[in-house]
Amino acid sequence: MSAQPSWDQYFMRMAYLAASRANCTRRKVGAVIVKGKNVLATGYNGPPSGTVHCDVVGCIRDDLNVPSGERHELCRGLHAEQNAIIQAAVHGVSIAGSSIYVTTHPCVVCSKMIMNAQIVEIVYSGGYPDDLSELMLLESNIKKRNFPLPEREIEMMLGDFSQKFGED
């Protein structure tokens, strides 16, 4: 019988499970907002509800050879953190004072949203090439922790896509 997972393992696994719903052709990202060991909202990256999925229409950023971490405005999709914050707002759930577990370090746009949403902690698994995000978060009082899951677990949750996992 395996040991019970820690809270960090539990919530990060939930973030990867959310990521498995993403239809992005470049990177699957998931986020879980938690307060007091209770899940408040989840999100994954993808286009707005009711619009065509990226894996159907293709990726503008791929077509233009846009490097990872640049030109976010060219993407059809919302990031996982944005979707989780929006879901909390839609359902009237306050996320002030919460933690966000995210499979990839937030970009600068998401970092600014996290700051204004009064989220107090970011727990992330993978890195992301965005120096401005790092600088913005250094100016905040947000606690930030890296909590990677073993690659084997990620592969089980994301399947073959995990081999492309670091490429947005």
pLDDT for position 165: 45
- Reported as a single tens digit per residue, the pLDDT across 51-94 is 998 889 888 888 899 888 788 888 888 999 999 999 999 999 99
Percent of the chain with pLDDT over 90: 66
121-124 long-range contacts, Cβ below 8 Å, gap at least 24?
121/145, 123/8, 123/11, 123/12, 123/99, 123/147
Please identify which of the residues 73, 81, 134, 167 carries the catalytic annotation: 81
**Which token pair is 88?**
């909390």
Active site residue 151: no
Nearest to 46 by CA among 14, 65, 21, 67: 21
Q: Give the confidence band of 129 by pLDDT, cuts at 50, 70, 90.
A: confident
